[in-house]
Amino acid sequence: MEYFDAHCHIYTPQFDADRSEVLARMKDAGLGAIVVGTDYAQSTQALELASAHDFLWASVGLHPNDNLEEAFDIEKYRALAQNPKVVAIGECGLDYFRSGGTDAEKAAQKIRFAAHIELAVEVGKPLIIHCRNAHDDMLIMLGEYKEKFGDKLQAVIHFFTGTSELAQRYLDLGCYLSFPGPITYTTEYDESIRVCPLDRMLSETDSPYAAPVPNRGKRNEPVHVKDVVEKLALIKGFSAAAVADQIVKNATKSFGLTK
């Protein structure tokens, strides 16, 4: 692998017309990726895609507020997680921006997230964490479970666009930070990137969302992770090739990747 996209959703309808071409571009670019589920149906789709391509892996989980009707059935997700192509649990976490406005909603999200943590530790796979407007509670929960499980609890902070202080707090808990397309069109996150050691850094697209420059405003796809890597390299003061190589090593280590 030459590049790695730690978070994409290429099973979504935005790719129905040309998914085979998108996958071909990924293969031609030497790009590996994790296809991330946000509910049970999409987790199943992610695993089906990953099983069909040796450069793809899957993550299975229930997003904090994408599918509020679905209860987290740990048995069903545990069964998916037994597949060796599943390398992480998530996308899961806390999101108070869209549906965490009340104390009851926040409590329900915490219960759902705690179940994901327990499952991730049980199956020995890292969490892929979504967190929006909820970092104080997220840090408290991760800190408590770190005390309980130690290094058995591993986590990747998806779509990290926080301050350098927030970055350091997650790094202190042993997390990897996954940087997305928006870092290419603002300097707001430059200091967070400088704070993050190269060996704790991942790149992602969150396809089909949040395309980096020069494709901002268009449908995103995994090959655009190259633009993210180039911006990371510029800020860190390394060559793009060196950063891409280290990110592949980080992904291989953090997710325990195998064919």
CA 201, 245, 210: angle at the middle one, nearest 5?
50
Segments of the chain with pLDDT less than 70: 259
Number of separate domains in the chain: 1
What is the pLDDT at residue 259? 64
Q: For residue 207, which amino acid is it? A: S
The predicted model scores a pTM of: 0.97
b/e for 27-65, b at 16 or more Cβ within 10 A?
A: eebebbbbbbbbbbebbbbbbebbeeeebbbbbbbbbbb
Residue by residue, DSSP assigns 1-25 as: --EEEEEE-TTSGGGTTTHHHHHHH
Which residues does 231 contact at the CB level (< 8 Å), separation at least 6? 183, 184, 212
CATH number of the domain encompassing residue 236: 3.20.20.140
Domain span at residue 16?
A: 3-255
Provide the CB-side half-sphere exposure for 5 (13 A, CA): 32
Those residues whose C-beta lies under 8 Å from the C-beta of residue 128, and which sit 6 or more positions away, are 6, 7, 34, 36, 59, 61, 88, 89, 90, 91, 92, 155, 156, 158
Structural contact between residues 220 and 210, judged by C-beta atoms closer than 8 angstroms: yes
> Does residue 255 contact residue 11 with C-beta atoms inside 8 Å?
no
- Whether residue 57 contacts residue 255, with contact meaning beta carbons closer than 8 Å, is answered with yes
Q: Which residue has the tokens 């089906």?
A: 48
28-68 pLDDT per residue, tens: 999 999 999 999 999 999 999 999 999 999 999 999 988 77
Beta strands in 9-85 (DSSP E): 31-36, 56-60
| CA 62/CA 20 separation, integer angstroms | 26
